[in-house]
Amino acid sequence: MNNNYFGKRILIVGSGISGKGAAYALKQSGALIYFYDGEIPNSIDIIVMSPGIRDEKFIAYAKQNDIPIIGEIELGFSLDNAPVIAITGTNGKTTTTMLTGDILSRSGYKTIVCGNIGTSYSKNALLTHERSVVEVSSFQLLTVKEFAPKVAIITNITPDHLDRHGNMQNYINAKLNICRNQTAEDYVIVPREVRVLLKEFGVKSQIVTLGSDITVQKEALWVFGKKIADVDELQQKEEHNLTDALFASCAAILQGATLSAVHDALIGFRSAEHRLSFVGKVNGKNYYNDSKGTNIGAALAAAKSMTGSTVLIAGGSDKGYEFDELFVELPKCVKYVIGMGEVKEKLRLAADRQEYEGFIICSGLEEAMETAKRLDVSNVLLSPAAASFDSYEGYDKRGEHFERLIRA
């Protein structure tokens, strides 16, 4: 454990999961903790910034007073003695993180699974363990300094959070920070389109590429030339789920997982709540909850997994991008798109530009569900392609509301 925090006066900005986890870990390390309450105390040695904080005054204060400013992920890494697998990406990172942890646990390793998945990395880093699997967001990667996972995964990079990052290049740069400090002994696992970005970025780690080193061939999943499972054995056979399975299996194998553990984990795995889950069949319609699909790429992946006529319910709070790509790439099975929430006008304008004739506008989820129930389709899919904060505390609350409305 890093004991450089002993006796240090540390200001924690943010009191959510990250802030509270950082406070716990730092107290255990002997630091003096202050939560920001409107004023910055004198003689602060370090500032720990939670990823959701956007206030530039802390950065300016730190520069002016020569105070190090770090994120909770950086803090966790400094306290962690185990090899780290870190996962980021616009879509698929939570599923990949959960599955990687499951494989390593089945292989006999004491494994912590934490980070952006909903539990503090720094708090978990103090537990006795042999492997760390950490989901990291673009916001968390903005403040890394020495963070250097033994294995990094970038599942994909498509437009998201541009309201925070300002433009696509800034978002890409944040994601690529996951492998900035890796050495030639480390690995980064990516799809082909991200491999090109890594070459430009000048990474030193060994690059494992989806589609060549890890691939789906002959109706089976292969990692480094070894078959790990037949597609027919898996409960979730959609393309994006197969990709997540390959990423997780490869990362776990690179950290010592057994092939038998990989196989057992893959055939028994189910995705996270509110991530493309079948809720039930009511009055002849199949209902699917993908409330966690908070960007265009996720919504398209969900839509492309549908079989039969579908109405897609989309919309929520604005993340700074337009929705033309959604309507360009929609599969033919999506006969209607219901736009709701803060971005409903953006969705309408994009549908008009792309001459999509099946667009319906609604104020919110309740009206959207009333409309969807009347449409002549087989499937109702909630995959919003937008955040939830215009009407809900989080995507989970939106998904729970959707499920309550199904039988209302």
Q: Average the pLDDT over 363-391 and give the result.
A: 94
45, 5 Cβ separation under 8 angstroms? no
**pLDDT (tens digit, 9 = 90+) per residue, 289-336?**
999 888 888 888 889 888 899 999 999 998 888 898 899 889 899 999
Q: Average the pLDDT over 4-17 and give the result.
A: 91
Which residue type, as a one-letter code, is found at position 380? Answer: V
Query: Which of 50-64, 98-112, 335-349 has the lowest average pLDDT?
Result: 50-64
369, 408 Cβ separation under 8 angstroms? yes
Distances 342 to 20, 345, 357, 367 between C-alpha atoms, Å: 31, 8, 21, 14
Neighbouring C-beta atoms of residue 309, cutoff 10 Å: 15
144, 51 Cβ separation under 8 angstroms? no
**pLDDT (tens digit, 9 = 90+) per residue, 164-218?**
556 777 888 888 999 999 999 999 999 998 888 887 778 899 999 999 999 999 8
Q: Which pLDDT score is estimated for 384?
A: 95
Task: Give how far the C-alpha of residue 350 lies from the chain's centroid of Cα atoms, to the nearest Å.
Answer: 25
Q: What angle do CA 134, 140, 141 make, to 5 degrees?
A: 90
Confidence category of residue 46, pLDDT binned at 50, 70, 90 = very high
Q: Which pLDDT score is estimated for 2?
A: 56
Pairing, β 359-361 against β 334-339:
parallel
**pLDDT (tens digit, 9 = 90+) per residue, 245-291?**
999 999 999 999 999 999 999 998 766 555 678 889 999 999 999 99
Structure token pair of residue 176: 């690529």
**pLDDT (tens digit, 9 = 90+) per residue, 344-367?**
999 999 999 999 999 999 999 999
Q: Which pLDDT score is estimated for 1?
A: 46
Task: Tell me what percent of the residues of the chain surpass a pLDDT of 90.
Answer: 65
As a whole number of angstroms, the distance between CA 110 and CA 253 comes to 15
DSSP-derived 3-state class of residue 179: helix
As a whole number of angstroms, the distance between CA 401 and CA 408 comes to 10
